Amino acid sequence: MEQNQSGPGGFDRDRLQNPQTWRRSRSDRWVAGVCGGIGRALNIDPVLIRVVMAVLILSGPGIIFYIAAWAMMPDEGSDRSAAQNLLGDRIRPDHPWLWPVVIGACVFAAIAMMSSFDFGRFVPGPLIVLAVIWVVAKQRKNGGIGRGRRNQYMGGPNANWSGQGTDWTGRPQDTPPGQQATSAYAPSQNDPSAPPAGPSSSATQRPQDRTVEPVQPVWTEDDPLGLYVDEPAGTTPPVSTRPAGPPAKGMRGIKSIVVVLTGLAIGIAALAGASTATMLVIGLATLGAGMLLGGFVGRTLALLPLGILLAAGAVASTVFPNVPRNFADTNYVAPIGQTITATGTSYQFDAGSVHLDLTKAKFGPGAKVDVHGGAGEVIVKVPPNVDVTGNLSAEMGDVAFLDQHQGGHNAELNLNDLGTDGKAGPQQVTLDLDVRLGSIKVERG
């Protein structure tokens, strides 16, 4: 597999200013080839892009960025994006305002998601999932049309790179009917006085007149790598010879059917009031069943990225039932003599860490420390002689208190320790610490 690496030239600043030239990679893709394509376009390691994208997705807005890039970036070897397939040529990929508007909308949505604004009510998760599935379904549907265009290119009498009548940018191309069209890169043959194209005519031309030799592509196989095999016109079989057709691919449209069924399943689950995680798992089960059964009559492996996306969404929605907005990085050291009371020492966070050093604090009657977190780490240090009671729990992760340790799913520890003096009093504190995913550690200072 070809891996993008930062070349000697390093980061390509010029390509950054022309995102309309970016293409999704087909040789270096995990999901849709967005990160591989961006890495290739900017001449930087796609692993770096993936790490940044993973952080953005886990924190919320990345999914918007990814979907937007997926919709806007054409696949490698193609000049039509998913958005163009969906909306037709109403979208011009070379429009100077297109990408700034898209990026601006994504940044606005990201800020809205991560702020305290209740954005979730306006864009619920199921709606996003259904929209994605609908886009994919439409893209699959239009893919048939695209294949028709590809066939037209591969062997049709008026074939060109992007279908009859259009050039690379989708603008109309003036090609007189009945005239042999060549690659869009080839010189125009509109002049009636110009010699006809082909090897015989090229022999009559001066060598300096021949800029590009017309080629006649031939369908050779199902083009699994998305690379069209071009052969010189001289090797083209006669018209009477039927060119080799693509290998049988089984039932057509099976993937679209499966995607639509998956969307229906998620929609029904949403109407039934299921939680987001349950909806996504139901969608995943439907998609998997469709892939399993559909695999016997057609090709369904291409749906795997959608399955991975649903599974990742199910995991994320389980860890974060709501859009994570509260990110904590608390490192609190209680000053000498500060009194911890029954209230006032409570922390809640969606992701991050809370470190509390209470070794120099005093503990009033009924002193209590509450920390409730989503994903992250909690460390609490208490004085040696303070009695500690309470509970540590993690849905998935580790909990530890002195030499006691629990790990895995639903890890839990009940605390009842009298301290190093082994006697009750004079101070005591109740710890109630829990996280969904992560670790909790209680130490004595």
Angstrom distance (rounded) from CA 288 to CA 19: 35
Residue 284 binds another protein, judged by CB under 8 A: yes
Characterize 163-186 residue by residue with b for buried, 16 or more Cβ atoms within 10 angstroms of its Cβ, and e for exposed: bbebbeebeebebeeeeebbbeee
From 24-32, 77-85, 109-117, 247-255, span contacting another protein (CB under 8 A):
247-255
Distance, CA of 174 to CA of 165 (rounded, Å): 7
State yes or no: residue 279 binds another protein (CB under 8 A). no
Cβ distance to another protein smaller for residue 185 or 296 = 296
Find the part of the chain contacting another protein (CB under 8 A) among 73-81, 93-101, 245-253, 431-439: 245-253
Regarding 393 and contact with another protein (CB under 8 A), the answer is no
CB closer to another protein, 306 vs 340? 306
CB 357 within 8 A of CB 381: yes
To another protein, the closest distance from the beta carbon of 410 in angstroms equals 7
Q: Which is nearer to another protein, 212 or 292 (CB)?
A: 292
DSSP secondary structure letter of residue 172: B
Residue number, 170 or 313, with CB nearest to another protein = 313
User: Torsions phi, psi of 307, nearest 5?
Assistant: -65, -40
Among 294, 383, 397, 419, binds another protein (CB under 8 A): 294
- Residues forming a β-bridge with 408: 397
Residue 147 lies near another protein (rule: CB under 8 A)? no
CB of 272 to another protein, least distance (A): 14
Rule CB under 8 A: is residue 409 a binding residue for another protein? yes
> Minimum distance between the CB of residue 241 and another protein, rounded to whole angstroms?
22
Question: Does 222 interact with another protein (rule: CB under 8 A)?
Answer: no
Give least dist CB 248 to another protein, A: 5
Tell me the closest approach of the beta carbon of residue 266 to another protein, in angstroms: 12
Indicate the helix (H) or strand (E) that contains 269: helix 254-271
CA 105/CA 119 separation, integer angstroms: 14
Q: What is the amino acid identity at position 352?
A: G
Name the minimum Å distance from CB 128 to another protein. 19
Cβ distance 442 to 414 under 8 Å? no
* φ, ψ for residue 395, nearest 5 deg: -60, -40
Q: Does 1 bind another protein (CB under 8 A)?
A: no
CB atoms within 10 A of CB 436: 20
Q: Does 301 bind another protein (CB under 8 A)?
A: yes
What span, in angstroms and rounded, lies between the C-alpha atoms of 91 and 100? 14
Rounded to a whole number of angstroms, the minimum distance from the CB of residue 278 to another protein is 8
Q: Which two tokens stand for residue 33?
A: 């080839």
The rounded distance, in Å, linking the Cα atoms of 198 and 234 is 8
Q: Please work out the total of residues on this chain that contact another protein, with binding judged by CB under 8 A.
A: 32
Q: Smallest distance, Å, CB 134 to another protein? A: 20
Residue 331: count other Cβ atoms within 10 Å of its Cβ: 11
Q: Tell me which of 231, 296, 343, 421 binds another protein, using CB under 8 A.
A: 296
Identify which of residues 285 and 342 has a Cβ nearer to another protein in the complex: 285
In the bound state with another protein, the residue whose beta carbon lies nearer, of 58 and 311, is 311
Q: Could you give the CA distance from residue 431 to residue 376 in angstroms, rounded to a whole number?
A: 17
Give every CB contact of residue 416 below 8 A, 6+ residues apart in sequence: 388, 389
The answer to the question of residue 256 lying near another protein (CB under 8 A) is no
> Least distance in Å: CB of 441 to another protein?
23
Place of tokens 């208490």: 382
The one segment of 13-21, 187-195, 220-228, 303-311 that binds another protein by CB under 8 A: 303-311
φ, ψ of residue 333 to 5 degrees: the values are -115, 115
- Residues binding another protein (CB under 8 A): 248-251, 278, 281-282, 284-285, 287-301, 303-304, 307, 311, 314, 408-410
